[in-house]
C-alpha cells in the first residue's frame, strides 16, 4: 500500500529543513553576513550572489541565513516563556478560584482586549531595543492565550473522578497538579504553542521592521525588509526573499499547530465525569 504524502508531512519536512539550514548558517553562508562590497551594491541574483546584494553590497542569502538565527531564536524563546507563564497563571487561576481566579481572569481579559503590537511597542520603547527587551515585550503580551486555554482545561480536568479521588485520599495540591492536571494539558498546549510560534515570528519581524528589534550590523529578517524597501525597484529580492522565508516558516508552523489542535480536540469534549 502506497503511503500518502499529506500537507502536514510537507510542512514538517520544510520546517525541519529550514531549521537545519539556519542552525548550520555559519558554515553554509557563502559570505560573512556583514561583509560589504560597494562595487556590487544592489546586484541582481547571479552565480556569485544567488539572491543578489543589498544597498551596501552585502550578500542577501548570507544575511538571511544569519538573520534566521536571531528571528527564530527570539520567536522560539518567546513561545517557551509565554507558554510557561500562561500555563502557570491558568492553572493557578483554576486551582485557587475565588478572588484569585477573578483577578487573574479579569487581567487576562484586559490584556486580550489590547492590541498586542501596541503593548509590545510601549514595552520596547520604554526598555530599549535589543534581544532582551524584545523577548520581554513578546512575553508580556503573549501569555494570555495560554492562560485562557490552561484555565479552561484545568477546570475540566479538576472536575474528573481521578482528581477527586486523589484529593479524597489526601494528595497534596502540588502533586495533583504535577501528576494529573499538567499531563492532560500537554498535548493541547503544544498545539497552541505551535500556532503562537508563527504569530510571534511575524511579531519579531514587525518590531524589527520598525527598528525596535536587532540593531545593525546584526541581520534580522524584519530589519532586512526595512532596509531594502527604499531600493525595492532596483533590488526587489531584498524584500521578497526574507518575506517569503517568514511566510513559509509561519505557514508551516501554523499548519502543524492546527493539525495538533484537531487531534487533541475530541478528548477535551468528553464530559467532566469521564476518566481517560
Is pLDDT of 74 > 60? yes
Q: What does the pLDDT read at residue 130?
A: 81
- The per-residue pLDDT for range 230-258, each reduced to its tens digit, is 999 998 999 999 999 999 999 999 888 88
Q: What does the pLDDT read at residue 51?
A: 93
- The per-residue pLDDT for range 185-201, each reduced to its tens digit, is 888 888 889 889 999 99
Q: What does the pLDDT read at residue 32?
A: 92
Q: From CA 149, how far away is CA 86, in angstroms rounded?
A: 9
Burial of 261 (0-12, 13-18, 19+ CB in 10 A): middle
Least confident of 95-109, 140-154, 166-180, 252-266: 166-180
Taking CA atoms, 195 is separated from 55, 259, 261, in Å, by: 35, 10, 9
Q: What does the pLDDT read at residue 124?
A: 86
Q: From CA 73, how far away is CA 65, in angstroms rounded?
A: 13
Is pLDDT of 276 > 50? no
Residues 6+ apart with CB under 8 A from 220: 67, 70, 71, 204, 205, 208, 213, 214
Q: pTM of the prediction?
A: 0.85
3-state SS, residue 53: strand
Domain at 56-268: CATH architecture:
Orthogonal Bundle (1.10)
Is pLDDT of 107 > 60? yes
Is pLDDT of 273 > 50? no
Q: What does the pLDDT read at residue 3?
A: 53
- The per-residue pLDDT for range 38-64, each reduced to its tens digit, is 889 999 999 989 999 999 999 999 999
- The per-residue pLDDT for range 114-171, each reduced to its tens digit, is 888 888 888 888 888 788 888 999 998 899 999 999 998 888 877 677 666 766 666 7
Radius of gyration of the chain from its Cα atoms, rounded to whole angstroms: 22
Mean pLDDT of 84-89: 93
What are the boundaries of each domain within the chain? 56-268
Which residues, in sequence order, are bridge partners of residue 53? 59
Q: What does the pLDDT read at residue 4?
A: 58
Asked whether the bond before 219 is cis by omega within 30 degrees of 0, the reply is: no
Q: From CA 29, how far away is CA 21, in angstroms rounded?
A: 9
Percentage of residues in the chain with pLDDT exceeding 90?
41
Q: What does the pLDDT read at residue 246?
A: 95
Q: From CA 98, how far away is CA 95, in angstroms rounded?
A: 9
Q: What does the pLDDT read at residue 265?
A: 56
Q: Are 181 and 163 in contact (CB under 8 A)?
A: yes
Which residues, in sequence order, are bridge partners of residue 59? 53
Q: From CA 188, how far away is CA 180, in angstroms rounded?
A: 15
Mean pLDDT of 28-43: 90
Residue 168 cell numbers, joined: 479524597
Phi, psi of 212 (to 5 degrees): -110, 10
Q: What does the pLDDT read at residue 168?
A: 66
Amino acid at each position: 500500500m502506497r503511503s500518502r504524502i499529506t500537507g502536514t508531512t510537507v510542512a514538517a519536512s520544510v520546517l525541519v529543513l529550514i531549521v537545519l539550514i539556519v542552525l548550520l548558517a555559519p558554515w553554509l553562508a557563502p559570505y560573512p553576513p556583514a561583509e560589504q562590497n560597494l562595487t556590487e551594491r544592489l546586484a541582481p541574483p547571479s552565480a556569485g550572489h544567488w539572491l543578489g546584494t543589498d544597498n551596501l553590497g552585502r550578500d542577501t542569502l548570507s544575511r538571511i541565513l544569519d538573520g534566521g538565527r536571531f528571528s527564530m531564536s527570539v520567536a522560539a524563546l518567546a513561545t517557551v516563556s509565554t507558554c510557561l507563564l500562561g500555563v502557570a497563571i491558568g492553572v493557578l487561576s483554576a486551582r485557587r478560584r475565588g478572588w484569585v481566579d477573578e483577578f487573574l481572569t479579569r487581567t487576562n481579559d484586559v490584556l486580550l482586549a489590547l492590541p498586542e503590537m501596541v503593548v509590545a511597542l510601549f514595552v520596547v520603547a520604554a526598555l530599549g531595543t535589543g534581544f532582551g527587551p524584545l523577548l520581554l515585550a513578546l512575553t508580556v503580551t503573549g501569555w494570555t492565550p495560554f492562560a485562557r486555554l490552561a484555565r479552561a482545561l484545568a477546570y475540566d480536568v479538576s472536575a474528573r473522578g481521578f482528581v477527586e479521588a486523589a484529593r479524597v485520599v489526601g494528595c497534596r495540591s502540588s502533586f495533583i497538579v504535577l501528576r494529573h492536571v499538567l499531563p492532560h494539558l500537554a498535548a493541547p498546549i503544544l498545539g497552541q504553542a505551535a500556532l503562537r510560534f508563527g504569530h510571534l515570528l511575524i511579531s519579531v519581524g514587525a518590531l524589527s521592521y520598525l527598528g525596535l528589534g536587532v540593531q545593525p550590523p546584526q541581520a534580522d529578517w524584519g530589519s532586512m525588509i526595512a532596509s531594502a524597501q527604499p531600493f525595492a525597484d532596483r533590488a526587489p529580492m531584498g524584500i521578497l526573499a526574507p518575506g517569503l522565508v517568514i511566510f513559509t516558516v509561519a505557514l508551516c508552523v501554523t499548519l502543524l499547530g492546527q493539525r495538533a489542535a484537531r487531534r487533541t480536540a475530541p478528548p477535551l469534549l468528553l464530559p467532566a465525569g469521564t476518566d481517560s
